[in-house]
A and B are shown apart, each in its own frame.
Chain A
């Protein structure tokens, strides 16, 4: 049976489909709550949400194996959750607490959990692209192509395809045949600038052609299409050490960050958003295909809300980082980074006695 979205659901494992829905619902609930917590000043700094990108997030992470590495952007809460990070520790990082994923050092834009091979969110646009390329270099340095080899996935936004580091990285990855998949998460806006106003080639995946890199554009609102394209690209990375440039097109439901009212959007845009919202669309697909009963869906939604409430409780209960740890984690080896010219600074040569 092929439904209106074009994917044959009968060939899918129903449990996996329900799991995708569960993850998408969790991300939606988490991000809505994060927005609320931000407006209540429980979260500081910048806060960029994955609202509207849930199908892309879950499709991509579903394609990853445990042994693969993920480099994300600053819009990465959902990826951390879908990769298996504890929602409480993600929320604790947003709250700036000691139990946060990055111990309160990174905040919303810098979620790190190398144990699940989440190699960071990156606050500088495109800063992660050379790093992901380097991680793939390290994989190739240590081992050749193989069906069970690890690969690297590197996320980037649509506007990031205009920076130099993107092009330098793609050139190196293609030149050196590195096991990496670059994924343009095209939400059609770089802050408030439409793709067409920023990119001379607005079909962004075609930018890989300059590097003879295979690529493809997929519907980012279709979790299965995203997963299948990512899986094929990851296989190419593993088995052929052939990098790929994927483009998943979706649309973010809110502004660039929580504080952005997105006034640059037209009423027409907003209406389209509501129609194309991937979460209710996937929910309806599963229900009409008989894979998910209405009550099950409602139960998954309720459990997502419950998990997010528990995450907020956990974050609330987590202590603020002890100021005595201010100088921790700056260097691996002891280094005199603690001198501030204050009396009592532990450098005998400087500072008043």
Chain B
């Protein structure tokens, strides 16, 4: 184990996969000379050259489609879309081509594609640059969507995504890039579609992914001091969704709180609440609760931005309500 940043874990993984497999190449805006908007690809152009690290003009639909076409030919493109907000320009290629080519061709065509892209708010980037659009993609059969919350998963899930024969969207998070954590040395491949229990507990299950899982873990640790034993589940993958792990936990704790950085309606919380009542109805001692972002285009002004995003205080309050207590 080595302690490195989430950013470094992503960088080292890309470098290792470029070294391992000649078919792997990187493509995206400003990833080469500029070394990436968030410097994930720093140094890789110098090491691997423009054939393997391809700067593109601003044309998300074009270069994402190019990557899909290259993947159809057996290459393993790793696309960087600067932020998930810009993926809307490429959504036709992702949803109508990447997700469907295997099915439409009756299994004759594979699309071993990775799209890396950060999401999330809290950086005062306002409404167009702060969105959590991953559920758009998690909705679509044929795609996989993973969301590493820890530095170890940044390595393990990105490695798994690059080696996977299906198109995988790897959701990164602007607020996590500088976080640090232990990362296994050497080969480390996580299983796509398997949630992780970040902290075991007895009283309540808290479920989140990406930044929300990190906040949930922090809240759960602090609640220990008050004698509340919360189990924290990091989904790690939105599609496939590990319903088993979530339901098994709720059968044990009888309570569930779902935390998401995304808007409430039609979100991950809604999907999990339905899953829990289907899979653990008889075990529930309280309604499933959700903590999500306010349903507004995220404002620029800091007090408004803070008010719109779920925070530790809101999560703590809802957990206490779920347990039958009052506001802390």
Question: A interface vs B, CB < 8 Å?
Answer: 100-106, 110, 112-114, 119-120, 122-124, 127, 129-139, 141, 164-165, 168-169, 171-172, 175, 328-333, 335-337, 339, 341, 347-352
Contact = CB atoms under 8 A, between A and B. Distances in A.
A133 B239 CA distance: 29
A134 B79 CA distance: 13
Contact of B109 (A114, A169, A341): A114
Nearest to A348: B244
Query: Which of the four size classes fits the interface of chain B?
Result: 35 or more
A336 B57 CA distance: 37
Contact of A172 (B66, B93, B279): B66
A105 B65 contact: no
Interface stretch (B67-75, B206-214, B223-231, B254-262): B67-75
The 8 closest A-B pairs by CB, nearest first: A130-B65, A134-B69, A103-B106, A168-B62, A332-B165, A349-B247, A138-B73, A349-B244
A306 B67 CA distance: 43
Interface in B18-59: 25, 51, 56-57, 59
B104 A102 contact: yes
B278 A350 contact: yes
Contacts of B105: 102, 105-106, 110, 112, 114, 120, 329
Interface in B58-98: 59, 61-75, 92-93, 96-97
8 contacts: A102-B106, A130-B66, A131-B72, A131-B97, A165-B62, A328-B107, A335-B239, A351-B279
B205 to A, nearest CB: 12
A133 B92 CA distance: 16
B142 interface: yes
B59 A337 contact: no
A131 B68 contact: yes
B311 interface: no
B142 A130 contact: no
Nearest to A169: B62
A134 B73 contact: yes
Interface of B: 25, 51, 56-57, 59, 61-75, 92-93, 96-97, 101-110, 112, 141-142, 144, 164-166, 193, 239-248, 274-275, 278-279
A210 to B, nearest CB: 13
A350 B142 CA distance: 21
Given A171-B57, A349-B248, A130 B109 contact: no
Given A130-B93, A134-B69, A169-B65, A141 B25 contact: yes
A347 B108 contact: no
Given A164-B61, A335-B240, A336-B241, A141 B109 contact: no
B219 to A, nearest CB: 24
A171 B66 CA distance: 12
Nearest to A110: B104
A106 B106 CA distance: 7
A100 to B, nearest CB: 7
A112 B108 contact: yes
Given A122-B97, A135-B72, A172-B56, 9 more contacts: A112-B105, A123-B96, A133-B66, A135-B70, A164-B61, A168-B59, A175-B57, A339-B243, A350-B279
A113 B246 CA distance: 42
A350 B69 contact: no
